[in-house]
Amino acid sequence: MVRFARAGALVGALGLMASLALSGCGEERPVPEFVPGATSGATGTATPVAPATASGPPLALSPADGAKNRPVSVEIAAELPGGGEVSRVTLKTKDGKKVEGKLRTDGSSWVPSAPLKWSTRYIATVTASRPDGSVSEGTSTFTTMAKPGSMITSGLYLFDDRTYGVAMPVVAEFHPGIPEKDRAAVQKRMFVQTDPPQPGAWHWVGNGTQAYYRAPEYWKPGTRLSVRIALAGVPLSNGRYGNVDRNATAKIGSAFEMKVTNSDKQMRVYENGQLVRTVPVSLGKKKTPSSSGTLVVMEKKESTVFDTMDDPDPENRYVTDIDFAQRLTWGGEYIHAAPWSENVQGRQNVSHGCVNVSMANARWLFQRTKIGDPITVTGTERKLAPGNGWTAWNLSWSDFVKGSALPVPEGGAGPSV
């Protein structure tokens, strides 16, 4: 049995992983590469243009005029007694430099497109139109707080200008994990936009170290995903603040799906819904079974070394060169070439939990798969454990939305900003 992850690795912070009795034949979970902190986000201000002259009562703004020590994640909001809607928001530094941003789709606040600067003075001007045709305006001058010393670390498993599979969830990660009482506030600052538009929802995993975003069904091929995890300066109840904003824009490629059935020990491969190949496999033996469920390709290595010499069970200790390895779980399950088991593939399970295929089939698969492609395994002795890999698609939609910290409209929510 493979050891899961080094205790110091950021991704290994999932508290639930320590209790997973999973088998695997792969290497330890790697430290992830994170998208670097963003210096800008979506641009454009909310402008229908308001009439130039205010004729109604002044607005009460948040932050209030004269407010100090505001977080750099602060949003601009206005109270509108008697109804109406905000038609223009302008935010500038004291030297007149304009700050870009846009309104949330529900009109509740205006969100800067990038974190504000620490210890800096800003002037916000908001104009609103009322049902009676009058126009109200409010101005607030406020100052942001100094940079705090205690922060959370965040990560985003998505990279700019890359193409992913149709099951690629948006995966945000936090260390330490986000306490349950803070998740709604954090989730409000996690923005996903899709083109073409598709509804979606967030789902928190375990002790709040990860959150997944997905749609009710796999993404449509050709979808463009634009993600902003806008947590710089977000205050949490544990006295910490978000460290940086992270963003990425990526594309979803063609539909490539693998379906493995233990009953006949075959993998059926589909491209855009059409069966293109049937591959004999050998899954995990009874002592180290493969996980049944919907998994996602998380990582690909043309060649690597599986080293399990620290496994407590002597029968599971080995060092082996591996070709065409595709990671499926943090517990060490992969699709990979296994020339030593080719004579039993399609007939007998002999692996330590991996999906063994021939060298030729492993190469063929490796040349076609993308990070984010789904593989469904059925009929084994073990069920896929939540959080053991990117398990977002291992839940029905109705169960998935239960993991959201905010209410999810039926069918899923659209982008909030």
78 Cβ contact partners less than 8 Å away, ≥ 6 residues apart: 59, 60, 61, 62, 86, 126, 128, 138
> Are 204 and 403 within 8 A, CB to CB?
yes
CA-wise closest residue to 14 among 254, 191, 176: 176
Q: What is the pLDDT of residue 409?
A: 87
- Owner of token pair 């693998």: 258
Q: What is the pLDDT of residue 36?
A: 37
> Please, is 207 exposed, middle or buried when counting C-beta atoms within 10 Å of its C-beta (0-12, 13-18, 19+)?
middle
Q: Which of 25, 203, 352, 354 is catalytic?
A: 354
Cα separation, 45 vs 87, in Å, equals 10
Cα separation, 186 vs 228, in Å, equals 12
Q: Which of 25, 203, 336, 352 is catalytic?
A: 336
Tell me, yes or no, if the pTM score tops 0.85: no
Report all structural domains of the chain as residue ranges with CATH numbers, in order of start: 11-33+255-395 (2.40.440.10), 60-143 (2.60.40.3780), 151-254+399-403 (2.60.40.3710)
Cα separation, 249 vs 238, in Å, equals 31
25 is annotated as an active-site residue: no
273 Cβ contact partners less than 8 Å away, ≥ 6 residues apart: 255
pLDDT in 10s for each residue of the chain, 417 residues: 333 232 233 333 333 333 344 456 665 554 444 343 333 333 333 333 334 456 667 788 999 999 999 999 999 999 887 778 888 999 999 999 999 999 998 888 999 999 999 999 999 999 988 888 888 899 999 999 999 999 999 999 999 999 999 999 999 999 999 999 999 999 999 999 999 999 999 999 989 999 999 999 999 999 999 999 999 999 988 889 999 999 999 999 999 999 999 999 999 999 999 999 999 999 999 999 999 999 999 999 999 987 665 666 766 665 788 999 999 999 999 999 999 999 999 999 999 999 999 999 999 999 999 999 999 999 999 999 999 999 999 999 999 999 999 999 887 776 666
Instruction: Reduce the secondary structure of the chain to three states and give it as a string.
Output: CCCCCCCCCCHHHCHHHHHCCCCCCCCCCCCCCCCCECCCCCCCCCCCCCCCCCCCCCCEEECCCCCCCECCCCCEEEECCCCCEEEEEEEEECCCCEECEEECCCCCCEEECCCCCCCCEEEEEEEEECCCCCEEEEEEEEEECCCCCCEEEEEECCCCCCEECCCCCEEEEEECCCCHHHHHHHHCCEEEEEECCCCEEEEEECCCCEEEEECCCCCCCCCEEEEEEECCCCECCCCCEECCEEEEEEEECCCEEEEEECCCCEEEEEECCEEEEEEECECECCCCCCEEEEEECCEEEEEEEEECCCCCCHHHCCEEEEEEEEECCCCCCEEEECHHHCCCCCCCCCECCCEEECHHHHHHHHCCCCCCCEEEEECCCEECCCCCCCCHHHCCHHHHHHHCCCCCCCCCECCCC
354 is annotated as an active-site residue: yes
Name the region of 363 (left: φ>0; alpha: ψ -120 to 50; beta: rest).
alpha
- CA 22 from chain centre, in angstroms, equals 23
